[in-house]
Amino acid sequence: MPDNPNKDEIDGQFLNTIFYGPPGTGKTYIVSEIAAEICGKERSDYAELVKQGHIAFITFHQSYSYEDFVEGIRPIIDNDKGAVKYEIRQGIFRQMCNRAEKDPTNEYVLIIDEINRANISKVFGELITLLEPDKRLSAENRSEGTEIKVVLPYSGGDPFGVPSNLYLIGTMNTADRSIALLDTALRRRFEFVEMMPKPELLSGKVVRNQDGTDTGINLVTLLTALNRRIEYLYDRDHTIGHAFFWDVDSLGKLDAVFRFKVIPLLQEYFYEDWAKIAVALNEPQQGGGFLKIDSIEPPVSTWRQDVGYEAKSSYRVNPRPFPVEAYQRLAGNGGHPAVAETQQDAG
């Protein structure tokens, strides 16, 4: 990946930030770089910072809970006695808070990948208020009387707060959920940085044939045209990120990206509506590019309800290597214009 393309947007890093955008825009890569910079190091030091406990990385999912994130009761099996006992275990958030509070001179970062996939209200609970900068534990907030502590439901007794040297950085895939659908309390307490596809970052990359010659495929115009079509047919949140193409330098690698990344995403986006997928790929109605398209003739029988059926199209991903012409056509320099509305739905 290149130097951080959002560098100007993150100077003066906020305590709570979410980087959001379509898949393949380099969100996970960039937040690891930002986390290292917050700790005063380079991205090359990221692994060591994780090892030292200054950075932690977790991924939210649908079943992720408050007990996983903050604290909860977990069963412990005593194999010798054959009995089960229960103890309170701290989740990653409380662990990071403890580290940061004990070491106020250094910065700590908790990265939450796919933050929009969990039930935020359920995971954060009453702690959502403690995330606000003016509610954090600090000498300044303490003197102003805005510092807030709560008593946690499981451990109880000891007041708990979130230190000011703990940064929360989340990533969010807008193809999974729009910002508008996020928990309102979360939206108020996080700053959002949009990360959209940047085809221009692919400028200068050459896609070569097996014999080393240049195919003439321009990745910038190819991705730009593809995303223009997707945005027309769906929306900008479901476009394709430049990171998918970052290592492409041969026709074989480009084929793999389209076959195993791009087309499966289009299948997901358009709910297996292959006619729209064909439009998104600027596929001719006879196929032969990215898709194999066959005609299915209407059934013939003596049943009255069978009368009037029309022929339909059967779609398959082309099992043969995608031809150079398919990419050129999609980019807009191979026959069909790259404007989505000019292509008619097939079948």
Q: What is the domain partition of the chain in residue ranges?
A: 7-194, 199-342
**pLDDT, position 129:** 87
3-state SS of the chain: helix, strand, coil percent to 5? 40, 20, 40
Cα–Cα nearest to 327, from 257, 244, 239, 246? 257
Model pTM? 0.84
**What's the half-sphere exposure (Cβ side, CA atoms, 13 Å) at 5?**
18
Query: Which residues contact residue 251 at a Cβ distance below 8 angstroms, ignoring those fewer than 6 apart?
Result: 207, 208, 209, 210, 215, 217, 321, 324
pLDDT along the chain (347 residues), means of 10: 44 82 94 95 96 96 90 77 79 95 95 90 87 88 87 80 95 80 77 94 96 96 97 95 97 98 96 95 95 87 69 93 96 56 41
**pLDDT, position 297:** 85
**What's the half-sphere exposure (Cβ side, CA atoms, 13 Å) at 97?**
20
**pLDDT, position 36:** 96
**pLDDT, position 12:** 52
Cα–Cα nearest to 253, from 333, 331, 322? 322
**pLDDT, position 307:** 66
Q: What is the CATH code of the structural domain delimited by 7-194?
A: 3.40.50
What distance in Å separates the CA atoms of residue 124 and residue 118, rounded to the nearest whole number? 10
Give me the amino acid identity at 288.
Answer: G
Give, to the nearest 10 degrees, the angle between helix 219-233 and helix 324-331. 60
Alpha-helical (H) ranges within the chain are: 7-10, 27-38, 46-52, 66-69, 92-102, 120-124, 139-144, 184-189, 219-233, 251-257, 263-269, 274-280, 324-331
**pLDDT, position 305:** 65
